[in-house]
Amino acid sequence: MRFTGQQWRRHAAVGAVGVLSVLTLAGYAREAGPAPLSVPAANAVEAGLVATYERINGTVAQHEAVEVLTYQAYQQPIKDCMAKERFGYTPPPFVKAGSDRTLLPFEVSAVVEPGAEKLLTSVAASVEAATAQEEYSNPGFDRLPPEQRQQYSDQLVYCEPPAESYEGRFVPEASLQLDAQFLELLRRVGDDPAVQSAMLGYGSCMARQGIEANDLGELYAAVREKFNDRGVPVSPKTHPGPWQQAIAFQDKAVAADRTCRTPVWQLAMAGARDELADFTEAHEADLNALGAKWQEIGTQGTAVKAKLPL
């Protein structure tokens, strides 16, 4: 069979479209990635991500150790300096500021466990902890006559140690470097086209649950706002009614997020499984070295905390 010039061009065009269609479908197949994991399998990957994150950034107890060491490095020089000037100084009591649970970075919504309960309930926990603190008293200042208090305050400022002596001093530098690479791992998982496509439906799903949020960051902000009354923290002691409403909204947010994001998370964990395996294999020596360093920091913090108050 012979084609005329016009017939040949039409046949070639149809053939090209067919080839393009095959290539396009192949591209979609690659973008689709692995199938979503079952919930138990996804939970196992999530646990691996959290465990690796703790190897990089320390456990909850090791975070507290950093806080204790930072507290001592800041407050002890002030106390010693004030004593040299014959001023009494009572440092404020140490109060743990960090979370009681390890939270993955929620910049990448898809990788955080469905419901994000540890994240969303941390707002109420932090408000309760802050409002439960007793009023601080510094007898060395309180006993002074009014005309000497300004001198005391000026000396207190003079006695503050330089920032580099306490800020960031107790976090291993290798931790910061490896943390950046771990965050890139999470971003690659979240940037997978199939995961991004699945996340597109999150906002409309949440709207059906009565909550306006297009990602986990917006949902966290919405929960935080419920615990804020024109700049004043909403606590169970000072705002019992609004506090109950805020807790109700928090619980609603957890339930809605679990409903809307579980399928996305199952898909994300399928991609994260291989990423995590490659990451831990490539950085095993670094992770082991960091683990030893974090253990040392934890031991130092425990020793200092046992001697508090200063």
pLDDT (tens digit per residue) in 30-63: 345 689 999 999 999 999 999 999 999 999 999 9
Going by the DSSP 8-state scheme, the letter that residue 165 receives in this structure is G
| pLDDT value for 129 | 84
Mean pLDDT across the stretch 249-272? Answer: 98
pLDDT in tens, 272-308: 999 999 999 999 999 999 999 999 999 999 999 999 9
| pLDDT value for 272 | 98
Distance CA 126, CA 225 (A): 14
pTM of full prediction above 0.75: yes
Range scoring the smallest mean pLDDT among 69-73, 94-98, 246-250, 279-283: 94-98
Is the confidence at residue 139, as pLDDT, over 80?
yes
| pLDDT value for 32 | 54
Q: How sure is the predictor about 25, in pLDDT bands with cuts at 50, 70 and 90? A: very low
Asked whether the beta carbons of 139 and 90 are under 8 A apart, the reply is yes
Q: How sure is the predictor about 135, in pLDDT bands with cuts at 50, 70 and 90? A: confident
Is the confidence at residue 9, as pLDDT, over 50?
no
Chain mean pLDDT for the chain:
89
Give the whole-number percent of the chain exceeding pLDDT 90: 82
Distances (CA, A) of 150 to 76, 92, 145: 22, 19, 10
Is the confidence at residue 8, as pLDDT, over 60?
no
pLDDT in tens, 82-101: 999 999 999 999 999 888 88
Sign of the CA dihedral running 183, 186, 191, 192: positive
Give the whole-number percent of the chain exceeding pLDDT 70: 89
**List of E strands, 21-86:** none
pLDDT in tens, 200-222: 999 999 999 999 999 999 999 99
Q: What is the DSSP string of 128-159?
A: HHHHHPPPP--HHHHTS-HHHHHHHHHHHHHH
Mean pLDDT across the stretch 149-161? Answer: 97
CA atoms within 13 A on the CB side of 232: 10
Q: What are phi and psi of 229, to 5 degrees?
A: -120, 90
| pLDDT value for 29 | 35
Mean pLDDT across the stretch 232-251? Answer: 94
Distance CA 306, CA 304 (A): 5
